Every structure is written in structure tokens, then in C-alpha cells.
Structure 1
């Protein structure tokens, strides 16, 4: 499985995570009982499906080393395995955080991603 996974979050959600020292998840994560992540190959589709038109977003790259049993790869959209974290995200696992602006074509303009 991919070592680096990605979370799309609003700037406000991430600012709260930085204040708290960990990321407890977005409202959809709280509703589902885990934090949703995507692989590099899945992130653009996730943005288009769940965040279309939102321009206050960040892309958070996360290193899965050390997540242990709290990270589960589970079948989701189209039968693909998606990473789900059943614990708060420690900010020490964050590799980088970059803006996720909307490009001229109306889709999010992704930075280069590992994986």
C-alpha cells in the first residue's frame, strides 16, 4: 500500500488541527467514524466528487509509517481500497500541507504528489 496518503481539508479545519495538535477529522469523518484519506491516484477524483467548486482547501500529505492498526485499507468507491484512519491524525505524521486552488478549467490544481 502507498506510504504517503492524502487528506483534503478546509483551511479552517486545518487551522483547528494545528491549534489542537492533532486532526480529529472533518464532519464527514465524524459521521463515518474514521478519517477519510486518498492515495495520490485517488485524490483528484475525491476532490471532484466531494469538494467541487470549493476554493478554501488544503492538500495534506501524510506518512503512514507508525499508524499501525489504526490505518485500515477498506473497499470504497468503485471497489477500490481507500485508507481510513480510526484515530486522530498526529501532526507529526504530516509531510507537507499545500494549497489546493481551483485551476482555470474549474478543477482543483494539484501539486506534485508522491505515490
Structure 2
């Protein structure tokens, strides 16, 4: 599974499309999702973490350096095209801890 962070108000949707100016949909894996969450969304309480089945995408998935790249840093799954709603197998509430930072939700950590 790969993971995509979105705003609660944007889900459910027919599909998830790349952000304006991006050629792919940014995703993470369970071991890296806290990195973009903390860099981009620290303290936000209006997020969902979508669990996406790569076998249901129907568009290319590539593992690439982060954006911006970190020398020797982790690679992230980038989906080159829209993610259909049928590829999302579960939506998890994604709340920060008391200090405003994110960790992988316990429901996903147990998988």
C-alpha cells in the first residue's frame, strides 16, 4: 500500500489529481509519511490519510527522490496520473500529536 495525505473536505472524490503545476500525485509509504506531513501540515487537524492499492491505479507509479530531493534521503511513490477513488481502500483520520507533529496512525502501524 501507498499513502496519500488529503484534506477531509476533499474526500470522498471521484479521483485524486496532481496539484497545479505537478505532473504526479505525491504519495508516501508507511515509513516516510510523517516526513511530508510534518514539513507541510504540522498542527493541521483537518487531514485524512488515504490508503491506496497500487494494483488498482491504472497509471504509472514511480519511486523517486523527494521534492525537494534530500541527498541520500528516502524515495517516495509518485503516481503519474489521477488516482481513481476505487484505488483507495481506506481513509484514516490523520491527527497530529499534542506537539503538532504527525506519526503513522496506529491502525496502519499494526498491518
TM-score of the two chains, using structure 1 as the length reference:
0.78
Per-residue deviation at 1:109? Answer: 5.2
Any stretches of 5+ residues in structure 1 without a counterpart?
Answer: none
TM-score when normalising by structure 2: 0.81
Aligned pair count reads 105
Query: How far apart are residue 106 of structure 1 and its match?
Result: 2.0
How many angstroms apart in 2 are the aligned matches of 1:61 and 1:84?
Answer: 14
In the alignment, does 2:81 pair up with 1:87? yes
Does residue 1:101 correspond to 2:95, yes or no? yes
**Secondary structure, counterpart of 1:12 in structure 2:** helix
Q: CA RMSD in A?
A: 2.0
What are the superposed Cα offsets for residues 67-115 of structure 1, whole Å, 9 maximum, x if unpaired?
Answer: 3551111122424221111111111111110111122232235423267
Match of 1:24 among 6, 11, 17: 17
Counterpart of 1:73 in structure 2 is 63
Give the aligned partner of residue 60 of structure 1: 50
Could you say which structure has the higher helix fraction? 1
Gaps of 5+ in 2: none
